[in-house]
Amino acid sequence: MAQDIYGLTGTQFTDATGNSIKLPVHQDYDTYINHWKFLKRSYLGGAEYKRGQYLKRYQYENEGEYLTRLSHAAEDNHCRSIIHTYNAFLYRQQPKRDFGWLEDTPEVEQFLKDADLEGQSWEAFMRDVNVQSSIYGHCVVLVDRPETVVGTRAEELAQGIRPFCQIYTPENILNWKFIRQPNGHYEIAELMLLEQDERPYQRQGEFYIRKWTPDAIELYSYTGDDVKEPMKQIETRPNNLGKVPAVWCYANKGPIRGIGVSDISGVAQSQRFLANLYSEAEQLVSLTNHPSLVKTRSVSAQAGAGAVIDMPEELDPNLKPYLLQPNGGNLEAILKTMDETVKSIDRMAHMGSIRAIETRQMSGVAMQSEFLMLDAKLCEKAKNLELSEEQIFRLFSLWQGQAWDGEIKYPMAFHIRDKNLDMDIINKAASAQRDSATATPNVKSIIDQKTIELLAKDEDEMEEMQNQIADDGQHDAMTNPSGMVAHMREMIEQGLSNEDILNLHPEIARYFGGTDGGVPGQEDNTQ
């Protein structure tokens, strides 16, 4: 899993001794780094969020008072909840993956079990890609392959040498450059990544940067203590792949190439506002329950249960100690504002009908609109993940000396709905169908189909249930003429047409010599 391992503050890296080291970064890195850190902390919450010190400081609040209030601050992590809900819906059905020539090869079998050489399966890896891109707006997946001097494929397999993937979040993507090709496609011409792995020979305050170009792979050390040469090249080798093996994975594409739009950008801002409201409410409750004691210096007094107040006998009555206690009237307004803020968060994330406790207060139309918007959001994310996977496997195949000929298919319909409400509607329709004198098999078929769509977990189960209903709906062949007439009368009363009856019982034509395909007892109105 990608992580920020070097305490970033703007473009300054802080080493173990507290010295600041400035790295050469892309101009957009300078612009967005503090925003990215805010988004990451909003997702992580807890102690990491408190480190950001996003609570507003009161005008006359000293450092100690502020830190105490910060430590007591409550937090409601909506960013994490929303991202994980998206993830759950997206991977409720497993994507269909056709690996083409890679199918059943030892390399891809190993890769699916351990995609990053750290024991993470491919499914878990892509879930992580979705989480990281949702937080920041984008992340980069590097498809690398260990260097080898072995000569045969069998030797490579024996040593476990195969392509693998690493996730880099925007905090560790220092510089990048895209060049438009003659065919119109953009390709990565340069990529500088902050290495995430520590090395045995690494000195204190030293960082390693890997630079990828289509021609070469270079490793630099950076300490910042050498003004003339802050970056020292310590390793270089040719890039035999002929291209930078990196995939930009977007949550949502933005107007700037290489910079994605986070799923939680607006939510994080509202979450910060909520955190401040929680602190205000906590302060108000504390002051209301524990009022301040106002007294002169000559009076010995304490507040609380069992407290004793010693006053001089000659004390002026106007100088008697008293308790200063807010009435708490603002608490209701604060709680109402918090409730409205949560509703605003749900609207931004299209989650009002999913996360809200009082969903029944929403109209059926409002709920359906929410479901449709959420479904559209998930479809967009599924398309981006599908594209990212195919690009990753293209690079995987390229490392193996082949062209990718497979296909990745993510689900593009998530059928998000209120199942209780839908089932209630279906039950009412079925009841009306049974009680209606003009009921038709077509209506029953539609009701059955809607029930299947509601209950089936995936497309395979849906197909199985449809086949079961089809089997159950077949009429046994009528071999006994004595019961044939009664059964036919029954079908006619149900509203079945000639065609429907003949489809169910083709043997009728034999019994009645039905050269015209007609059914006795039912008038043919076609001309």
Question: For 373-402, what is each residue's pLDDT tens digit?
Answer: 888 999 999 999 999 999 999 999 999 889
Under the banding of pLDDT at 50, 70 and 90, the label for residue 481 is low
If asked whether residues 144 and 231 sit together in one domain, one would say: yes
Q: Would you state the pLDDT for residue 514?
A: 47
Comparing 12-26, 281-295, 311-325, 334-348, the range with the smallest average pLDDT is 12-26
pLDDT at 369: 78
437/508 same-domain check: no
What per-residue confidence (pLDDT) applies to 524?
47
pLDDT in tens, 285-326: 776 666 766 777 767 766 665 566 667 666 777 777 766 666
Residue 206 has pLDDT above 90, yes or no: no
- The whole-chain average pLDDT of the chain stands at 79
Are 492 and 405 in the same domain? Answer: no
The reply to whether 64 falls in a domain is no
Percent of the chain surpassing pLDDT 90: 41
468 and 480 belong to one structural domain: no
- Highest mean pLDDT among 85-94, 300-309, 358-367 belongs to 85-94
Judge whether residue 263 has pLDDT over 80. Answer: yes
Task: Specify the pLDDT at position 399.
Answer: 92
Are 31 and 157 in a shared domain?
Answer: yes
367 belongs to a structural domain: no
Same domain, 429 and 516: no
3-state secondary structure of 74: coil
Domain membership of residue 213 as a residue range: 8-44+77-264+382-409
The DSSP line for 389-415 is: HHHHHHHHHHHTTS----EEE--S---
Find the range with the poorest average confidence among 222-236, 327-341, 374-388, 445-459: 445-459
Q: How many domains does the chain have?
A: 3
pLDDT grade for 149, boundaries at 50, 70 and 90: low
Q: Could you tell me which residue, 523 or 477, shows the higher pLDDT?
A: 477
- The mean pLDDT of 125-153, rounded to a whole number, is 89
462 lies in the same domain as 482: no
Examine the domain organization and report whether 391 and 492 are in the same domain.
Answer: no
Q: Are residues 25 and 135 in the same domain?
A: yes
* Span of 84-98, 231-245, 269-283, 421-435 with lowest mean pLDDT: 421-435
- Asked whether residue 35 falls in the same domain as residue 154, the answer is yes
Residue 332 binned pLDDT confidence (cut-offs 50, 70, 90)? confident
Question: What pTM was estimated for this model as a whole?
Answer: 0.74
- Cβ partners under 8 Å of residue 508, min gap 6: 478, 484, 488, 501, 502, 514, 519
> Which 3-state string (H, E, C) describes 462-512?
HHHHHHHHHHHHCCCCCCCHHHHHHHHHHHHHCCCCHHHHHHHCCCHHHHH
> Which region among 229-233, 275-279, 330-334, 448-452 has the lowest average model confidence (pLDDT)?
448-452
Could you tell me which residue, 152 or 285, shows the higher pLDDT?
A: 285
Whole-number pLDDT of residue 503: 73
Looking at the structure, tell me whether residues 486 and 390 fall in a common domain: no
- Residue 317 in any domain: the answer is no
Query: What mean pLDDT is predicted for residues 192-205?
Result: 74
pLDDT value at residue 515: 44
Q: For tokens 């050469």, what's the residue?
A: 24
Asked if 324 and 291 count as a contact pair (C-beta separation under 8 A), the reply is yes
**Does 485 lie in the same domain as 464?**
no
